Amino acid sequence: MIAVIDFETTGLSPAMGDRATEIAIVLLQSGQVVDRFQSLMNTGKHIPSFIETFTGISNAMLASAPSAQSVMCEASRFVGSIPMAAHNAAFDRRFWQAEMNQADQPSTQDFICTLLLSRRLYPQSPSHQLGRLVEFLNLPKAVRAHRAMADAEMATALLVQMQHDLRLTHGVNQPDHAFLRSVQRCAKYGLPALFAKQLAHSC
DNA sequence: TGCCAGGCCCTCTTTAGGGCCTT
């Protein structure tokens, strides 16, 4: 099981005071979506006008949203100890840890990054932005990008496609979270050896 | 629109610099 997460936020850095505005999580098991979690969240932080335009999430929408603390407690129960994935995971991991910390919840989940994986697996793609990758791979594109669930669904489709390509193209039987983590960490020139090792291990 | 940060990756590199990606 892998939990694919996406945050919408007021900016790029929790260390600079930015906060999450929306969270979406898709649970993926054996290539199938088995559950979803989504919520706006009110931290009391003002959303800059550029971000309102960018995400479509307004200060008025968050005024009636549940508190960040209650949403993150619910998200923590939803994910448990399941390993997580995100596109540019360094970004979502920072907000996950910062918001969990604010809500007095643990945040020990391991993350894999579909951005780093796509740079390894699809070096021919002209761009590794989530939307551009989805177009490059002919995957279903979200109608409303830059909303949390739409982006989480696209990242999930991307992850499923990468697992499929690892099986079909590279003969890897079970590209689970642990194996994806080794692909992500593997230097580009080392990938064929990694695939061969996994193939031999699974035979 | 892109600035703000942080991490990865590439190269005209490694005693560094800049592009990409996330909102």
Strand B bases within 7 angstroms of protein beta carbons = 1-10, 20-23
Question: Taking chain A (203 residues) in consecutive chunks of 10 residues, what is each chunk's mean pLDDT?
Answer: 97 94 96 96 95 94 96 96 96 96 94 94 93 94 87 96 92 88 84 82 64
How many helices (DSSP H) and strands (DSSP E) are in chain A? Answer: 9, 5
User: Residue A200 has what pLDDT?
Assistant: 74
CA of A88 to C1' of B12 (A): 28
* Residues in CB range of A67: below 8 A, 6 or more apart: A41, A42, A43
CA A34 to chain centre: 16
User: Residue A203 has what pLDDT?
Assistant: 59
Q: Which two tokens stand for residue A69?
A: 């603390």
Q: Which residue is nearest to nucleotide B8 (CA to C1')?
A: A116
Per domain, the residue ranges of chain A are: 2-202
CB under 7 Å from any atom of strand B: which residues?
A 6-9, 11-13, 15-16, 18, 21, 48, 50-51, 53-55, 87-88, 90-91, 94, 115-116, 119-120, 123, 127-132, 146, 151, 184, 188
CA of A16 to C1' of B8 (A): 21
Q: Which two tokens stand for residue A134?
A: 């989805």
CATH architecture for the domain at A2-202: 2-Layer Sandwich (3.30)
Q: What is the pTM of this model?
A: 0.93
If DSSP codes are grouped into helix, strand and coil, which group holds residue A101?
helix
CA of A89 to C1' of B8 (A): 11
CA of A86 to C1' of B17 (A): 28
**Sheet holding A84-86: strands in order across?**
A32-40, A20-29, A2-9, A84-86, A111-113
User: Residue A202 has what pLDDT?
Assistant: 63
